Amino acid sequence: MNVKVNDNVLVIAGKDKGVQGKVLATSPKANTVVVEGVRVQKKHQKARKANDTSKIVEIPGPIDASNVKVVCPSCGKATRVKHAVVDGKKVRVCACGAVLDKAYSKKAAAKAAASAEEAPKKRTRKRAAKPAETTETTENN
């Protein structure tokens, strides 16, 4: 399954076709995802405490993962997810070449910025060598 939690996705099939939303939960075994504002179901919630009131709550339901496409944050298009190895790590990639894994894309951008501007090396303080007199005096005693 190429969809992860917090991905922005576009629904491509079903009653909610064309709706964009954030992935709230995934279920790889059932191959389903829960998208914000898609397949909204009504649930009756009973009051559990004396000061609570009973109410009807709207909860998004699961849809099949094949009915969504990941929206690329850089180009803004819904795309099929490709996989590539970048710096020895397998990552999800858009057709435009942008990295879809948010945690890795921040690290990759930071590395690219660091290598682009060659920062001067940090100066380290050299410690002075201990004088030889102190070792000689200890041997004489």
Residue 107's contacts (CB-CB under 8 Å, 6 or more residues apart) are none
Q: How are strands ordered across the β-sheet holding 8-11?
A: 62-64, 32-35, 20-27, 8-11, 68-71, 78-79
Res. 106: pLDDT tops 80: no
| pLDDT at position 81 | 93
Res. 78: pLDDT tops 60: yes
Smallest CA-to-CA distance from 39 within 15, 18, 68 is with 15
Instruction: Determine the distance from the C-alpha atom of residue 109 to the mean position of all C-alpha atoms in its chain, rounded to a whole number.
Output: 14
CATH of segment(s) 1-43+56-71: 2.30.30.30
- The two three-digit tokens of residue 130, written as one number: 């201990």
pLDDT (mean) for 81-85: 92
Selected residue with higher pLDDT from 101 and 137: 101
Residue-range domain boundaries for the chain: 1-43+56-71, 79-116
Instruction: Give the integer Cα–Cα distance in Å for 128 and 115.
Output: 33
